[in-house]
């Protein structure tokens, strides 16, 4: 019997519903059975909070996506610094970096879809920042990520790694926002030493180290005298120095600083005073939201010393501050994405962040390197006893000292975020935020300058006064003390390819620091005790009722000074971007030569309050890296070759050989360079009939050129200059035998020569004929003709004397002098490394001298 139509339809719908339910059940089973994986290391090991967050507490978080093609990225970073690569110094934009190495749109969409499926609100997807930002209530976040968050009513932190679908885990570096950035007992810190003296009683009566002292000690005066005051900009265009800072400043102090010093090198404006500081501050938005409130004044001198001493070293370069607002990663990312400044100098750090945040920061720093931004980071002020301990307790592979557990739970300076299961921190350790291979890490030295009676430094970096900065203070045993240069091996990052050479440990780890500079040190025989060299700053801290002066130090001050040095190097090459300079620094360090511009520091250690440390030694070491800069030599050596000239001034007679200039080319690379050609500019080529350029290394080679406005000398065979060696080149010119008076010829009066006059010779010849004719005329007519001849003779002599300059009271005669100036323009020296590499010579343009030819 046939069922009614509506019953047949009902059966069909019932079957459809059953099928849908079955599909949903299967799909639901797949979802429920989906494999999850932790974001390993995305929590700190010891959270002291005990109360779980209320379910209704809202949270703002962001997923930081991983970079793609890491091997390709590493290769490109090497190629950007390889003179033999077609990619040499071809920097990327943030957009190009995101398109090449950032997560794909599919990867970001997968994360977005999953977050929404868990009931979380996705507020933004930012491909440039590699971030998916989302919000949710605590109970939603806990359910989605499988982690518990504890707090104290103000601060909070997750106690386990967050869980995500396994298919997504490899595309995620970190989930930020699971902890407040001041979750530990310490706020975000700096590497500055609090004032050693303050006005009015201290600083003006104690020795202090000012900009002029630095110019003498670290040999910057020749650079400034050459007109190199660093790269320039307006603060919003051109170049700048970026500074992440925890606090704002009173800008009156900046004026006080530059007005304090007189008698500086004359190329400085006014002359002899520092120019005003061009200063801008940026308040980056947190998690893509509205920027936080502008922070207040600092508790230490950090922002002041960063700004003032970066400016002292590179007076032309503007300063651009990025407020950290408790989120160091966010401030660094903003400075990189804005891509305004060619260098970033950081002496602040996060608060013992999880390993995943450190890895996310490393990705940001990798992007900076590919954009041509150079990053300097202080190595820390706790010696071998970093206040956080080691985030990954590990057996270190170098011989000594090895990491061991220490009970530092009661130390006021430790965070305890990295404690092990037994409540111990592992030491020695370093600030792992300073261990990225994408940054240049700066340690500290100490030295006692020698001053003249007026308080001006007389000592230099070459005097060997520097040792490792370590005040050897004592306190509660094992507790970190802020008094020494940080340094040691990383437990997170492996050794980069360029970190090799004399003294570099064979430990498979990224070792820090890379270089060093003055930080602090004890004064001898000074009461009350102060620190030397005692860097002078104008400041106003929270404890100062008004702007004042202070002496300060720390690796914090060494770092911005190195950022200033990088701006001098860039300016000397006519660029604003240098990128990751570590490969070049290690190449220079391995030359083991004073001409490299790196002065080796070989004494001292960074042991800290009974925690064993590392010692300085010949070559690279784990406390001062390759040492301190001799700024003039480093600026000259950095491009790969350094040209220095000895201008001459020569006067020769027509047809003689003239010495027209001498210059030297020094090879500051690790391999042999080949001198291919030199172009020399002549202001008056007509002075010379021929030119030769003689190059001397171990033997002599000569190249010839026809005189022209740009005379090209080609060496065949090429002149080989070994690593660390020099070639001396002498220019000689054969003066022409006759002066071609015309364009470019200078005629001047001179003594001691009597040029022949064609007019005078004709008059004498005519007079001789007249006298002969008088002699042969009849005798009675000789007297009148003789008188006429005598008058004619007097006239001829007058004319001859006048034409010869005899009318001059000095008795001098007229000479002809033709002059030519010889010079070498930027790019006038053509060097090669045998692999089509781009080898630049510093010290150009340069004047060789002047040759004067008398006719």
What pLDDT was estimated at residue 756?
43
Q: For residues 728 and 675, give the distance between their C-alpha atoms in angstroms, rounded to a whole number.
A: 11
- Model confidence at 577: pLDDT above 60: yes
The band of 382, judged by pLDDT with boundaries at 50, 70 and 90, is: very high
| The pLDDT of residue 529 is above 60 | no
Q: Is the pLDDT of residue 30 over 50?
A: no
Tokens of 799: 């004319």
Q: Of the candidates 206, 89, 203, 217, which has an alpha carbon nearest to the alpha carbon of residue 561? A: 217
* Verdict on whether the full-model pTM lies above 0.85: no
Pick from 312-321, 343-352, 649-658 the range whose average pLDDT is largest: 312-321
The backbone torsions φ and ψ at residue 363, rounded to the nearest 5 degrees and listed phi first, read -65, -40
**129-188: pLDDT as tens digits:** 999 999 999 999 999 999 999 998 888 999 999 999 999 999 999 999 999 854 433 345
Instruction: Please report, for the chain, how many H helices and E strands are present, in that order.
Output: 18, 38
Please tell me the predicted confidence (pLDDT) of residue 33.
52
Q: Is the peptide bond before 528 cis (omega within 30 degrees of 0)?
A: yes
- The per-residue pLDDT for range 40-68, each reduced to its tens digit, is 999 987 777 889 999 999 999 999 999 99
Percent residues over pLDDT 70 in the chain:
81
Residue 522's pLDDT is what?
47
pLDDT tens readout for residues 231-256: 999 888 999 999 999 999 999 999 99
What are the pLDDT digits (tens) for 693-737?
A: 999 999 999 999 999 999 999 999 999 999 889 999 999 999 998
For the segment 554-560, the average pLDDT, to the nearest whole number, is 94
pLDDT band at residue 119 under the 50/70/90 scheme? very high
β-bridge partners, 707: none
Residue pLDDT, tens place only, 79-98: 999 888 899 999 999 999 99
| Of 218-232, 397-411, 774-788, 824-838, highest mean pLDDT | 218-232
What is the average pLDDT across 793-820? 55
Confidence of residue 788 (pLDDT cuts 50, 70, 90): low
Average pLDDT over all residues of the chain: 84
pLDDT of amino acid 840: 81
Produce one character per residue of 766-797: b if its CB has 16 or more CB atoms within 10 Å, e if not: ebeebeeebeeeeeeeeeebeeebeeeeeebe
Please report the pLDDT score of residue 367 as a whole number: 98
pLDDT of residue 805: 41
- pLDDT, residue 219, reads 96
pLDDT at 764 exceeding the cut of 80: no
From the CB of residue 36, how many other CB atoms can be counted at a distance below 10 Å? 14
pLDDT in tens, 345-373: 999 988 889 999 999 999 999 999 999 99
739 vs 299, 575, 689, 710, 822, CA distance in Å? 75, 43, 11, 21, 19
Is residue 17's pLDDT more than 80? no
Mean pLDDT of 769-773: 51
Q: Which pLDDT score, from 0 to 100, does residue 753 have?
A: 39
For residue 715, CA distances in Å to 348, 545, 677, 718, 767 come to: 52, 68, 6, 5, 59
Q: Which residue has the higher pLDDT, 552 or 788?
A: 552
| Alpha-carbon distances, residue 240 vs 233, 345, 374, 500 (angstroms) | 6, 11, 12, 31
Q: What is the per-residue pLDDT for 398?
A: 60
- DSSP assignment of 114-131 equals HHHHTT-EEEEEETTTTE
C-alpha to C-alpha distance for 431 and 361, rounded to whole angstroms? 13
Per-residue model confidence (pLDDT) at position 810: 41
Higher confidence at residue 437 or residue 287?
Answer: 437
Looking at beta carbons, which pairs linking 154-159 to residues 24 or more positions away fall under 8 Å? 154/180, 155/49, 155/179, 155/180, 155/182, 155/183, 156/49, 156/53, 156/180, 156/183, 157/43, 157/44, 157/47, 157/49, 157/183, 158/42, 158/43, 158/47, 159/43, 159/47
């Amino acid at each position: 019997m046939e069922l009614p139509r509506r019953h047949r339809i009902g059966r069909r719908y019932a079957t459809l519903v059953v099928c849908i339910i079955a599909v949903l059940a299967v799909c639901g089973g797949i979802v429920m059975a989906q494999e999850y994986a932790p974001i390993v290391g995305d929590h700190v090991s010891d959270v002291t909070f005990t109360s779980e967050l209320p379910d209704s507490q809202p949270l703002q978080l962001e997923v930081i996506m991983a970079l793609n093609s890491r091997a390709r990225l590493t290769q490109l970073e090497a190629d950007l610094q390889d003179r033999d690569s077609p990619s040499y110094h071809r920097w990327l934009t943030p957009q190009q970096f995101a398109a090449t190495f950032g997560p794909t749109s599919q990867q970001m969409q997968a994360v977005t879809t999953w977050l929404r499926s868990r009931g979380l609100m996705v507020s933004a997807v930012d491909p440039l920042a590699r971030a998916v930002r989302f919000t949710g209530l605590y109970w939603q976040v806990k359910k989605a990520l499988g982690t518990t968050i504890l707090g104290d009513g103000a601060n909070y932190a997750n106690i386990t790694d967050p869980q995500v679908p396994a298919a997504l885990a490899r595309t995620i570096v970190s989930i930020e926002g699971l902890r407040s950035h001041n979750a530990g007992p310490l706020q975000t810190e700096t590497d500055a030493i609090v004032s050693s003296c303050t006005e009015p009683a201290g600083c003006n009566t104690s020795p202090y180290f000012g900009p002029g002292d630095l110019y003498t000690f670290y040999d910057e005066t020749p650079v400034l005298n050459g007109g190199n005051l660093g790269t320039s900009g307006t603060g919003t265009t051109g170049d700048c120095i970026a500074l992440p800072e925890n606090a704002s400043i009173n800008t009156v102090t900046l004026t006080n600083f530059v007005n304090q010093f007189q008698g500086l090198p004359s190329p400085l404006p006014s002359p002899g005073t520092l120019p005003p500081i061009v200063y801008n501050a940026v308040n980056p938005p947190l998690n893509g939201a509205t920027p936080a409130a502008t922070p207040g004044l600092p508790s230490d001198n950090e922002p002041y010393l960063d700004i003032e001493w970066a400016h002292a070293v590179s007076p032309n370069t503007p300063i651009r501050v990025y407020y950290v607002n408790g989120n160091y990663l966010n401030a660094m990312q903003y400075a990189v994405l804005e891509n305004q400044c060619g260098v970033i100098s950081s002496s602040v750090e996060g608060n013992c962040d999880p390993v995943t945040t450190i890895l996310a920061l490393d990705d940001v720093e990798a992007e900076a390197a590919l954009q041509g931004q150079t990053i300097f980071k202080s190595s820390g002020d706790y010696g071998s006893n970093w206040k956080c301990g080691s985030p990954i307790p590990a057996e270190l592979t170098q011989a000594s000292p090895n990491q061991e557990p220490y009970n530092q739970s009661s130390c006021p300076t430790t965070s305890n975020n990295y404690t092990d299961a037994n409540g111990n921190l592992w030491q020695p350790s370093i600030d792992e935020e300073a261990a990225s291979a994408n940054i240049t890490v700066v340690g500290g030295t100490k030295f006692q300058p020698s001053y003249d009676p007026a308080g001006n430094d007389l000592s230099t970096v070459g005097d060997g006064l520097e040792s490792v900065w370590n005040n050897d203070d004592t306190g509660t045993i094992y507790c970190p003390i802020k008094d020494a240069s940080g340094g040691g091996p990383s437990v997170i990052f492996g050794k980069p390819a360029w970190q090799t050479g004399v003294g570099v440990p064979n430990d498979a780890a990224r070792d820090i620091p890379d270089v060093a500079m003055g930080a602090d040190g004890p004064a001898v025989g000074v009461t009350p005790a102060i620190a030397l060299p005692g860097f002078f700053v104008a400041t106003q801290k929270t404890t100062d009722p008004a702007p004042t002066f202070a002496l300060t130090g720390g690796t914090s001050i060494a770092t911005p000074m190195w950022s200033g040095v990088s701006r001098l190097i860039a300016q000397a090459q006519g660029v604003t971007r240098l990128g990751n300079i570590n490969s070049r620094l290690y190449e220079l360090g391995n030359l083991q030569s004073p001409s490299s511009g790196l002065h080796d520091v070989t004494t001292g250690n960074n042991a800290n309050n009974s925690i064993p440390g590392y010692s300085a030694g010949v070559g690279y070491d784990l406390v001062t890296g390759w040492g301190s800069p001799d700024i003039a030599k480093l600026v000259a050596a950095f491009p790969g070759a350094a040209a220095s000239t000895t201008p001459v001034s020569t006067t020769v007679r027509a047809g003689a050989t003239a010495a027209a200039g001498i210059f030297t080319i020094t090879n500051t690379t690790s391999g042999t360079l080949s001198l291919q050609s030199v172009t020399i500019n002549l202001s008056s080529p007509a002075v010379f009939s021929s030119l030769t350029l003689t190059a001397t290394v171990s033997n002599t080679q000569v190249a010839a050129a026809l005189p022209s406005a740009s005379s090209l000398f080609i060496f065949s065979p090429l002149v080989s200059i070994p690593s660390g060696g020099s070639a001396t080149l002498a220019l000689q010119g054969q003066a022409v035998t006759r002066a071609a008076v015309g364009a470019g010829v200078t005629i001047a009066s001179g003594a001691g020569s009597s040029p022949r006059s064609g007019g005078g010779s004709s008059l004498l010849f005519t007079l001789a004929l007249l006298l002969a004719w008088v002699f042969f005329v009849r005798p009675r007519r000789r007297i009148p003709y003789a008188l006429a001849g005598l008058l004619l003779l007097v006239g001829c002599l007058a004319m001859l004397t006048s034409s010869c300059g005899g009318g001059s009271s000095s008795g001098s005669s007229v000479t002809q002098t033709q002059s030519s100036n010889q010079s070498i323009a930027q790019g006038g020296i053509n060097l090669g490394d045998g692999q089509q590499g781009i080898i630049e010579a510093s010290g150009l343009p340069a004047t060789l001298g002047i040759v004067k030819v008398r006719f």
